Structure 1
Amino acid sequence: MRPNTLRTLRRYHHYLGLFFAPMILLFSVSGALQTFRLQEARGYGGTPPNWIVWLASVHKDQGPPRPPRAEKPKPQAEAGKPRGEAERAGPKRPSPLPLKIFVVLLSIALCASTITGVAIALSIRSMRRISIAMLVTGTIVPIVLLWI
């Protein structure tokens, strides 16, 4: 590739990375929390904090949390079955814990990589003003879009 093309690609990568860095961090953290279902009462072990519920709602539904819907009544055929009968009928599934741990480690690595990239981008003095502007814009635009 030509040097000018590489320079242009690096500049676009720089700006795109700064613009999307805030959302990469938000989705990475909320995804890690959802891996262990911490946004649900059964995963958290009680009523989860509002900020976890809010993050999960933005991640899953692209909006603020909605009031919970009323549950539909279960059909009589299912209501009479002993609990856990359906699970015993199928083959034993492997434990999801190793993959969950991997996903959380991936999330931590993505956060660390994003923060490192932002620090490197902001260390370039000649591009610092536009870098800060891209970072602020990348924070404000999703917030505005969330409430439209």
Structure 2
Amino acid sequence: MRPNTLRLLRRYHHYLGLFFAPMILLFAISGALQTFRLQEAKGYGGTPPNWIVWLASVHKDQGPPRERKVEKPKPAGDAAEAQKPRAEASAGSAKRPSPLPLKIFVVLLSIALSLSTITGIVIALASRAMRRISIILLALGTVVPIVLLWI
């Protein structure tokens, strides 16, 4: 590849990486939390903190959390009937492999993506010639998604 082409590709990579870095970090962190269903009461072991629920909502629904509709409780007889087919189906099915190894891998992937993104930001900010544009792109990459959440 020609040197001018490589220089142009590096510049675009720099601009795109800094603009999207804040959201890459947000999605990596929220994805890691969702891997273990920490945004749900059963995954967290109680009522999850609002910040985890908020991150999960932005990640999954591209918006802030909405009020959930309260469902009417079903009569006890109906709940028992609904559980029967599920129990019968699971008794005849083969044993599924544990999802834990893949969950651990996904969390490690999220950590690596976060560290790589932070390293890229540090490298970009180390260049005095590009520092101003780097800070502007980071700020825009933070502000634009926040504004888009509320439109």
Q: TM-score under structure 2 normalisation?
A: 0.91
Give the SS at the match of 1:66: coil
Please point out which of 131, 145, 151 is paired with 1:128. Answer: 131
For residues 94-105 of structure 1, the aligned pairs below 5 Å read: 94-105=97-108
Is 1:145 aligned with 2:122?
A: no
Deviations 1:41-89 (A, max 9, x none): 0000000000000000000000000111334759948436287333222
Closer/same/farther in 2, CA of residues 63 and 80 from structure 1, 3 Å limit:
closer
Give the SS at the match of 1:106: helix
Deviations 1:93-131 (A, max 9, x none): 000000000000000000000000000000010000001
Q: TM-score under structure 1 normalisation?
A: 0.93
Moved more, 136-145 or 74-83: 74-83
For residues 1-148 of structure 1, the aligned pairs below 5 Å read: 1-71=1-71, 73=74, 76=78, 78-79=81-82, 81=84, 84-148=87-151
Query: Identity, % of aligned pairs?
Result: 79
Closer/same/farther in 2, CA of residues 91 and 71 from structure 1, 3 Å limit:
farther
**Unaligned stretches of 5+ residues in structure 1:** none
Give the SS at the match of 2:84: coil
Give the SS at the match of 1:81: helix
Give the SS at the match of 1:48: coil
Closer/same/farther in 2, CA of residues 123 and 88 from structure 1, 3 Å limit:
same
Give the SS at the match of 1:39: coil
